Structure 1
Amino acid sequence: MWRRRNVLAYERPEWYLNTPDTCRLFVQEYGIGDEYVVVLHGGWGGEHSYLLDAFEGVEEHFVLVFYDQRGSLRSPCPSELISVDKHVQDLECLREQLGVDRLNIVAHSMGTILAMMYLDRYPERVKGLVFISPSAPRSPFEKWELELLERHEQAKQAFFERQEIDLEIKRQGLDREWDELSDKEKTNAWRIRFAGSNLYHVEHWPQLKGGQIFFSQEAAEAALRSMPRQYDFTSALARHPWPIHIIEGDHDFGPVYVEYTRQWVSKIGNARLTVIRNAGHNPWIDSPDEFTTALIEALLNTT
């Protein structure tokens, strides 16, 4: 049976980061300790609260700094002021406000690209790096990459349509005509399918947060439009003088993508990969104890 998570301890008053172009970014801190750990949520267009459960226990060792990236839920910003370059500069502004020389960063999903871009631009400003369910550090162009990613797309589609999703919908009594469902039931049906994409254990769907009003399509599209067509951060990662820890489920959007991660991690001498069995894109929900152990060990070995 999955473990119910608790609210993080040592909550501090929220504050707002004022950017040079007059956006205000929501910042929330938890924890005790001598070092900050800045958490980068996924997206683009996501927000931080879906990640809180992932850090249960970590706040006993570090001060965790969560923030909503510009354009996200608590950090409204006009789309014309949203770009990946602005996201990088926001992270540098946050570092300056925290008053630290080097950041410890934990990033999830697309947040790992932001972390890599920041490292590439400000290598002297980064210390600990932990990537959860990461994006690859370069745009694919070699034959082996394209072939592997084609296999991944096929496996991902099958993973998103697996039988367990429909069985859970039926088990919850939601296998009726859409018009017959209440709004609450419709939301639950949506969340089960959302869990089918992000979790290995679909039955853990009540623990899955985010999506719907917690996601800004406008912010996502603005950031994506500004992404470089070709990028490669492998050299920046390889030059980093501290270990880089990667934590990923063996069913991250299906069973194939972790093979891609293994390939690029093997080419970066200071990178360490921990694969969590029977876990998806949000491994802290599928395997909370194993994930928490891996995350705390990674942070203690890089900070």
Structure 2
Amino acid sequence: MPTFAAYDGLDVAFQVHGDGPPVICLPGGPMQDPAYLSDLGGLSAHRRLVMVNLRGTGGSATPADPATYRCDRLVDDVEALREHLGLDQVDLLAHSAGANLAVLYAARHPERVSGLALITPSTMAVGVAVTGHDRREAARLRAGEPWFPEAFAALERVTEGKATAHDWEAIVPFWYGRWDAEAKDHHAAEDGQRNDEAAGVYAAEGAFDPDATRAALAGFQAPVLLLAGEADVAAPPSAMAEVAALFPGATLVVQRGGGHFPWLDDPGRFVATTAGFLG
């Protein structure tokens, strides 16, 4: 697996899928091995996907200072990768929690970003609240599923701050547009993919300054795609519309029937959307 030297000399790994112009892909989790992204439903047939193993995850080395797991500190790792690849500008694609890192990079280095694709993004870096009402509205689209009654009751407890460990597991089907064998296998693989210590530091105090980030993004001129899943309780379309409005010319696409992993739910539609945007 190829590596590059981060700003502090740490060896950070990345994987490459496909050919063509590169797009740097930032995984969610937070701090999850990008294996769960696979080749993003076949997007590698259109672009060269450079999948970052964030420090302490996948094939990357573990830093001596755990504070470097903080999201704003990881921006310098992305910049080091851009320099390693010899690119004046990069297309960035980020999923879920990885979108926080992508928008911080775009805010700090706007001249280095040629395109930004945010896939069912987390909103912490920009301070957009996802309400319980938003989550319940997305969840009700799944009311015909046999697992819905138990999962919806658990979701109510989650939104009220009364969740148990069982409740968090019970709502997992809401994360997928189809709760089938592929989705169950995908979820089961996650346990060994995330660095929990790093995830605990990622959003630590000082990681985000939403007001400053919003101000920077208001002048961001590169094209932005914001892809939401119609039934995603983690990043429901109503909240995603608020995020899209922070950019001068963002395009919001809501994938019908999509959950939090839209490349699994409908690979063809996902690839058509993202490849069409990235070119």
Q: TM-score, normalised by structure 2?
A: 0.81
- 1:249 matched to 2:229? The reply is yes
Residue 285 of structure 1 corresponds to 264
Summarize the alignment of residues 1-303 of structure 1 with structure 2, pairs less than 5 Å apart. Answer: 14-33=1-20, 35-56=21-42, 58-78=43-63, 79-136=66-123, 138-140=126-128, 149-152=131-134, 164-165=146-147, 195-203=172-180, 204-206=182-184, 208=186, 210-228=189-207, 230-232=209-211, 233-253=213-233, 257-300=236-279
Structure 2 letter corresponding to 1:139: G
Structure 2 letter corresponding to 1:82: Y
CA offsets 1:196-255 (integer angstroms, 9 cap, x no match): 14202112424525411111110101212155454143343332222201111111126x
Query: Are residues 200 and 30 of structure 1, via their aligned partners in 2, closer, same or farther at CA, if it must alter by over 3 Å?
Result: closer
2:38 is paired with a residue whose SS is helix
Amino-acid identity (%): 26
1:208 is paired with a residue whose SS is helix
Q: For residues 21 and 266 of structure 1, what CA distance do their matches in structure 2 show?
A: 36
Query: Are residues 97 and 194 of structure 1, via their aligned partners in 2, closer, same or farther at CA, if it must alter by over 3 Å?
Result: farther
Q: How many residues align?
A: 259
How far did residue 69 of structure 1 move? 0.5
How far did residue 29 of structure 1 move? 1.1
CA offsets 1:45-69 (integer angstroms, 9 cap, x no match): 211111124141x323322111211
Q: For residues 218 and 144 of structure 2, what CA distance do their matches in structure 1 show?
A: 38
Q: Is the 2:139–2:231 Cα contact (8 Å) retained in structure 1?
A: no
Query: Are residues 264 and 60 of structure 1, via their aligned partners in 2, closer, same or farther at CA, if it must alter by over 3 Å?
Result: closer
Q: Is the 2:217–2:246 Cα contact (8 Å) retained in structure 1?
A: no
Query: Are residues 71 and 131 of structure 1, via their aligned partners in 2, closer, same or farther at CA, if it must alter by over 3 Å?
Result: same
Kindly report the root-mean-square deviation, in angstroms, between the aligned alpha carbons of the 2 structures: 3.2
How far did residue 263 of structure 1 move? 3.0
Gaps of 5+ in 2: 150-168
Q: For residues 252 and 17 of structure 2, what CA distance do their matches in structure 1 show?
A: 27
Gaps of 5+ in 1: 1-13, 168-191
Q: TM-score, normalised by structure 1?
A: 0.75
Query: Are residues 139 and 160 of structure 1, via their aligned partners in 2, closer, same or farther at CA, if it must alter by over 3 Å?
Result: farther
Q: Is the 1:47–1:69 Cα contact (8 Å) retained in structure 2?
A: yes
How far did residue 116 of structure 1 move? 0.5
Query: Are residues 267 and 39 of structure 1, via their aligned partners in 2, closer, same or farther at CA, if it must alter by over 3 Å?
Result: closer
Q: For residues 5 and 134 of structure 2, what CA distance do their matches in structure 1 show?
A: 41
How far did residue 80 of structure 1 move? 3.8
CA offsets 1:114-172 (integer angstroms, 9 cap, x no match): 010001111111111111001235214xxxx5xx61323555788999963389xxxxx
Structure 1 letter corresponding to 2:186: L
- Runs (4 or more) in structure 1 with deviation over 6 Å come to 156-162
